Amino acid sequence: MERTIDREQPHYFGAGPALLPADVLKEAALDLVNYSGDNLGIGEISHRDKRAVKVIDDTKANLSKLLDIPETHEVFFMQGGGTTGFSSIAYNLAANYATKNNGETPKLAYAVTGGWSQKANEEAKRLGFQTQVVVNTKDIKYTDIPPYSEWTPIEKGTAYLYVADNETVHGNEFKDIPTDYLPEGVELVADMSSNILSKKIDVSKYGLIMAGAQKNIGLAGLTIYIIKKSLLEQASDDQLVSWGIALPPIAFHYPTVVKNNSTYNTIPIFTCQILKLVTEKLIKEGGIEEIQKTNEKKAEILYGALEKYPNFYKLAVKEKARSNMNVVFTLHNAELEPEFIKQAEAQQLFGLKGHRSVGGMRASIYNAVTLETTEKLVDFVKQFAENNS
């Protein structure tokens, strides 16, 4: 089949790398060949070229506009994804805490509400940090987020509380911020890789937001960081070493990255350009408020269709904790699950197989998944249940 830059709207529910808007991809394809009429592609110019720096600056400005980022916070980009963030966050915020507390080594608190927050805690421990798990819902298979009154109090001498705001694999999402739970001086750190720009948030409440781009708003290879500027302060390397504080690798040393406007080393500028185009599109289409309304509608009709057949579909996650981005479900008759996937694909509905660690099905209804695509899945969900009950 002859390839073309045009395509029909795909009905793809993959969890990441995930769907991107077709108009964004078409523009990016042209940029990859010839950016701004310069006879060079966006991926061929230096990351310190003025054109590349403008891509970075424009993307930062778009994020600041969409999220209403206050002057107290800084936006920067680094190579990698969430896994890079697990380690870089621990290194940098521990160094900041020690700098502010006469060399004291901090504890790091983690809310383990799914597979990704579990991995973040495990990585911090592997690197030698003392961690405190304040809540762990593994025994209930990560199907709920308990009220903060049931969490273990955070210990004295803790630098931050880490939460995965949306757990992509297990399909749960925080609906509020544990502001009253946090002791004074303990920063809130959130992994928003799979729900960044999907809903309105109050950035001022967070010490640090980390989001890999490839799930909801971009391509793999680039991670967004939004950090409180006061958390960038670090003592000299010699001073930190004298205190016994581990140093982060220079490429992931936040003060260095920020000082160099995310260009200390070569970040993927093409990936940043994709992010710029996506954020421009969101701004043109009404910003976060509009996309949030659409996302809530998509989640409402899909969960509603699954709930309509309680003897056929099983929704393990409690209603108050269900993700608006990743709808996870199984069939009471597990033997029918391969047939569900097969028939869905016959109707051009792809990417519905659940994560290998949990099985079942998962529909990731990120920003780029249209309401019309979600309605097509809703119709199939109803049809399959009625034909097989």
Render pLDDT for 9-26 as a digit per residue (tens, 0 to 9). Answer: 899 999 999 999 999 999
Long-range contacts of 121-130 (CB under 8 A, 24+ apart): 121/162, 123/83, 123/86, 123/87, 123/90, 124/86, 124/87, 124/90, 124/162, 127/87, 127/90, 127/91, 127/246, 128/246, 129/90, 129/94, 130/105
Extended strands (E) in 99-191? 107-112, 130-136, 158-164, 166-167, 172-173, 187-191
In the prediction, which pLDDT does 61 show? 98
The residue whose two tokens read 């409402």 is: 300
Active site residue 116: yes
In the prediction, which pLDDT does 38 show? 81
In this structure, are strands 187-191 and 158-164 parallel, antiparallel, or unpaired?
parallel
In the prediction, which pLDDT does 4 show? 83
Given the residues 151, 191, 228, 353, the one annotated as active site? 191
CA dist list (Å): 67 to 17, 46, 135: 23, 29, 28
In the prediction, which pLDDT does 15 show? 96
In the prediction, which pLDDT does 37 show? 80
3-state helix, strand, coil in the chain (%, to 5): 40, 15, 40
Answer for the pair 178, 150: CB distance below 8 angstroms, yes or no. no
In angstroms, rounded to a whole number, what is the distance separating the alpha carbons of residues 29 and 41? Answer: 9
Render pLDDT for 160-180 as a digit per residue (tens, 0 to 9). Answer: 999 999 999 999 999 999 989
Given the residues 107, 215, 298, 353, the one annotated as active site? 215
DSSP code for 334: G
In the prediction, which pLDDT does 1 show? 60
Rounded mean pLDDT for each run of 10 residues along the chain, 389 residues in total: 83 96 94 89 92 96 98 97 96 98 97 98 97 98 97 98 98 95 97 98 98 95 97 98 96 97 95 98 97 98 98 97 98 96 98 91 98 98 96
Active site residue 191: yes
In the prediction, which pLDDT does 262 show? 97
Answer for the pair 145, 321: CB distance below 8 angstroms, yes or no. yes
107 Ramachandran zone, left/alpha/beta (phi>0; psi -120 to 50): beta
Active site residue 180: no
| Residue % of the chain over a pLDDT of 90 | 94
Given the residues 31, 107, 116, 199, the one annotated as active site? 116
Task: Give CATH for domain 33-282.
Answer: 3.40.640.10
In the prediction, which pLDDT does 389 show? 85
In the prediction, which pLDDT does 134 show? 98
What residues does each domain of the chain span?
A: 33-282, 287-388
Question: Is domain 287-388 in CATH 3.90.1150.10, yes or no?
Answer: yes
In the prediction, which pLDDT does 255 show? 98
